[in-house]
């Protein structure tokens, strides 16, 4: 059955018709996620930061595949990615979601409280690296990590977490194609975020401790498995 598609601003280097077709043939988001999706696009600044339907189902799919015990979500925004990642957790699993924006954390808290995972999700407000250092002392190892925060700090997040990612664990980083600018020589020369994302992609690819896969989903996801 064809779904009613709501057109919002997309990462504009992938044909919108391809995205629409993909969404039409992907499992629907839950009622709560659809409500969060609509609320974010009508009431919150920079709604393109939301993971959204297709990417959200991908996160849920990966989480169901590995059934993680400990999940880290770097970049809560309005809580969409956290709720998707929580879907595949073990019953006793726990997800930690981080953001330094109190306003969006307030929005996320309302939707997380309304979810089936409210008792399994812990929200931490503050600088991500500081929160990661604190959590690394509490959590024995990470099973699943999603990075969607400051692009300039992706390499810092990676170095802070790679030794705590269990063998076979999955780490994913969003926006690594940076709306296609990653192939723009002028952007690589003049835009700091583009340069740092390119360096991050190369670093992951060259790290012999992991198996990497860069996928052109939405704005690009760097996915790696700890060997």
pLDDT of residue 8: 36
Q: How far apart are CA 225 and CA 18, in angstroms?
A: 28
pLDDT of residue 11: 52
pLDDT cut 70: percent of the chain above it: 94
Helices assigned H by DSSP within 47-119: 52-66, 80-86, 102-113
Calpha distance 194→211 (Å, rounded): 23
Structural domains in the chain, CATH included, are: 16-165 (3.40.50.150)
Say if residue 1's pLDDT is above 60. no
Rg over CA atoms, the chain: 17
Distance CA(208)–CA(226), nearest Å, equals: 9
As a whole number, the mean pLDDT across the chain is 93
For residue 213, pLDDT beyond 90? yes
* pLDDT tens for each residue of 143-169: 999 999 999 999 999 999 999 999 999
pTM for the full model? 0.93
Query: What is the mean predicted confidence (pLDDT) over 68-73?
Result: 98
Q: Report the percentage of the chain scoring pLDDT > 90.
A: 89
């Amino acid at each position: 059955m064809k779904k009613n598609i709501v057109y919002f601003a997309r990462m504009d280097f992938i044909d919108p018709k391809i995205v629409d077709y993909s969404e039409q043939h992907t499992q629907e988001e839950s009622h709560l996620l659809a409500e969060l999706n609509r609320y974010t696009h009508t009431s919150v600044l920079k709604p393109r930061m939301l993971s959204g339907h297709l990417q959200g189902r991908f996160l849920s799919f990966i989480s169901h595949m590995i059934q993680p015990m400990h999940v880290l979500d770097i970049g809560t925004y309005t809580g969409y990615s956290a709720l998707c990642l929580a879907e595949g957790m073990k019953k006793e699993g726990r997800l930690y979601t981080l953001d330094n924006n109190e306003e969006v954390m307030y929005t996320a808290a309302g939707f997380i409280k309304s979810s089936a995972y409210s008792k399994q999700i812990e929200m931490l407000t503050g600088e991500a690296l500081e929160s990661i250092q604190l959590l690394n002392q509490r959590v024995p190892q990470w099973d699943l990590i999603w990075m969607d925060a400051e692009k300039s700090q992706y390499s810092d997040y990676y170095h802070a977490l790679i030794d705590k990612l269990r063998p076979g664990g999955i780490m994913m980083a969003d926006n690594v194609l940076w709306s296609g600018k990653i192939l723009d020589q002028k952007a690589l020369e003049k835009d700091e975020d583009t340069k740092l994302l390119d360096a991050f992609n190369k670093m992951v690819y060259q790290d012999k401790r992991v198996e990497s896969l860069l996928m052109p989903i939405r704005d690009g996801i760097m996915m790696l498995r700890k060997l």
